[in-house]
Structure 1
């Protein structure tokens, strides 16, 4: 039963972001056929930020109407909307219409908004729901959340998304021999169409919905009984220790040792410590969900398409791996959380510096440069994913309300990061992309 609950928790985490992550990795196939062209990713970023209205409503409801909102029915609705939206995407994503004199992908953008609403709201509903289960099941949830990025990426690799070849634009014949002209990047056709990919996403969301239905109906009562037993045991222990202090005044050292142990078990963080935890959480999610993903192509593509795909895929694998490490080697020290956040931020600074120097970064013509970029992305995602899991474990012990605010801070940090990067990348064009087939950089 314990293993079964771990699997169900993992599948619930998988449904948190698998839809939007899937849309992101499918963009190379959507962009050439969408009227928006390469502006489509920027529209996607804005839609995700508009979808934060969902977490805002849930957070305000918990704040001003505590106890009125039950996560269970909300999660059923969210996963149902996710399944229907993915199914509609499979058949309607190419439908367009005229808006203000310009043709737009109205069906695609509308359905992406609903998927964004589902995934953003999951941060403030799925996490608080996990308080009904034992704390160790929260790690399984985070593993599933990491797989929500890995599985679409692996499917996109199998589909052949983003694979390109360099072909000559024209050839000229000189003295009986052909001389190649300028090379241009040509994307290879996918092994299966975009509608098949969206059907896969619909199937994954359907599996998550089924898993949650089982989790909500069968183990829920057991988990609630578990919480009641734990609370009653704590009350009994506290009462017995208090009586022990009154009845055994001569055994000072033994009583003091027991009281110290109780205080350790009942450790609560001060206001300053909680502010530090939430600030680190917002910073880490801003980096991992918005700031660095916005420049991933600029940091990797100068070294070649193979380096880009390796960095994206292995970084996606680093997320669930970090969650697994946190399961067996959790370290809740705030000093360690701060230190790891600093290390991850330093690695992120290196990635950002390479993106700024694109299309001619250091070690461009050396294998070391590409290998270093892949390792940097893996370490960046792995270290900060470990930090997010540890913070989730810390806030899990603080109760239901702390996890609600945890989800709200996650979305707030991601939103601030995205809004900060949008004008930098799309308006001011501070980052430059190089030609993957021809390089004007010095050797």
Structure 2
């Protein structure tokens, strides 16, 4: 039964961000067919930030109208909305409409907003639900959340997203281009994308199937005996946390009084069956420690969800197509790998997590420097350059993903409300990172793209 619960928690976690992660890895194919072209990623970034209205509403309802939202019904609504939106997107992603005198892919943009609403709101609904499960299943949930990026990335590699070839193009006198190896005319190499192994529509149907599996997993989790799984019997979203918080004096850290009460009736105290509950996470967390934890949460998610993903192409593509695909593949594998390491080697020392965050930030800095130096970063054209950039992305995502998991486990041991605010801070950090990078990439043109087939570097 324990293995089944781990699998269900993992599948449930994959539904958290699988839709948006899938769209990001599919963009190299989608942009070739939609009128926005390569401006589409900037539109997607803005849409995701607008979708933060979902977690904002849930958080405000928790604060001012506790008990109004039914937890189970809310999560069911979110998952079903994701299934319907991804299914419709498979049919209408190419639909366009004239808006303000310009042609826009309204079908893709509108349905993407609903998918973003699902994924953003999952941060403040899925995690609090996992509070009802034993700590070990929360780790499995984080593994699944990591797989929500790994599986779409793997599917895109199988599909052949972004695979390019260099074609010798002859520019004729009348301005037309022909593929030729003739010595007449002006010859140049042109980057062309190879056809995908399967269509965008098939890829979107696969995303829809993953959301359907998430629904089945959630249904199964809610039907399993409460004696084996649930730590509390409330079915109302944030019910227990709001009841306790109503008696908290102003300035009390979230969950401080909840922890005091839970010591009387909480059956999840440290036991041999729950090895992840160590002495460090059964103690009350001070206000300063809460501030540090939430700062780390915002910082780590700003880097991993907003800042560095915006420049990954600039960071990797100058080293070649192989470097880009390897960094994307091993980067997506780093997240679930870090979750597995956290399951067997947990470390909940705040000092250690701070140091690990600094180390991860160092690798992120190297990635950013290579993006700033695009199209001519250091060690370009060298195998060492390829190895370093791939390893740097692996360690950057892996180290900060480990920090995310450990923060989740620490806050899970404190209170239901602490996990809620963790989800809100995750979205806040991600939003800040994206908003900072948007003007740098899309307005001011701070980063320059590299042509894989025509070197722009001298020496």
- In structure 2, the CA distance between the partners of 1:271 and 1:424, relative to structure 1 (3 Å rule), is same
Tell me the residue number matched to 2:308: 292
- In structure 2, the CA distance between the partners of 1:104 and 1:334, relative to structure 1 (3 Å rule), is same
Conserved? CA contact 2:138–2:409, under 8 Å: yes
Structure 2 residue 447 is the aligned partner of structure 1 residue 441: no
Conserved? CA contact 1:139–1:326, under 8 Å: yes
Of 186, 193, 201, the residue aligned with 1:195 is 201
Conserved? CA contact 1:5–1:219, under 8 Å: no
Tell me the residue number matched to 1:61: 61
Could you say what secondary structure the match of 1:98 adopts? strand
- Structure 2: 5+ residue runs without aligned partners? 173-180, 235-258, 267-277
Structure 2 residue 367 is the aligned partner of structure 1 residue 351: yes
Could you say what secondary structure the match of 1:431 adopts? coil
Superposed CA RMSD in Å reads 2.2
Of 112-121 and 68-77, more deviation after overlay is shown by: 68-77
- In structure 2, the CA distance between the partners of 1:263 and 1:348, relative to structure 1 (3 Å rule), is closer
- In structure 2, the CA distance between the partners of 1:265 and 1:369, relative to structure 1 (3 Å rule), is closer
- In structure 2, the CA distance between the partners of 1:442 and 1:121, relative to structure 1 (3 Å rule), is same
Structure 2 residue 423 is the aligned partner of structure 1 residue 407: yes
Of 264, 270, 286, the residue aligned with 1:235 is 264
* Structure number with bigger Rg: 1
Aligned counterparts of 2:115 and 2:212: Cα–Cα separation in 1: 14
Deviation per residue, 1:285-340 (Å, 9 max, x gap):
00000100000000000000110000000010010000000001111000001000
Tell me the residue number matched to 1:267: 283
Tell me the residue number matched to 1:278: 294
Tell me the residue number matched to 2:17: 17
Structure 2 residue 343 is the aligned partner of structure 1 residue 327: yes
Conserved? CA contact 1:82–1:118, under 8 Å: yes
Structure 2 residue 220 is the aligned partner of structure 1 residue 214: yes
How high is the TM-score relative to the length of structure 2? Answer: 0.87
Aligned counterparts of 2:7 and 2:361: Cα–Cα separation in 1: 32
Tell me the residue number matched to 1:251: none
Tell me the residue number matched to 1:379: 395
Tell me the residue number matched to 1:144: 144
- Structure 1: 5+ residue runs without aligned partners? 238-261
- In structure 2, the CA distance between the partners of 1:372 and 1:268, relative to structure 1 (3 Å rule), is same
Conserved? CA contact 1:132–1:220, under 8 Å: no
Conserved? CA contact 2:96–2:106, under 8 Å: yes
Of 310, 318, 322, the residue aligned with 1:302 is 318
- In structure 2, the CA distance between the partners of 1:264 and 1:423, relative to structure 1 (3 Å rule), is closer
Deviation per residue, 1:156-187 (Å, 9 max, x gap):
11111100000011189xxxx94482000010
1:234 Cα offset (Å): 4.6
Tell me the residue number matched to 1:430: 446
Conserved? CA contact 2:170–2:182, under 8 Å: no
Tell me the residue number matched to 1:396: 412
Q: Report matched runs for 1:99-248 at 5 Å.
A: 99-170=99-170, 178-179=182-183, 181-220=187-226, 222-224=228-230, 234-235=263-264
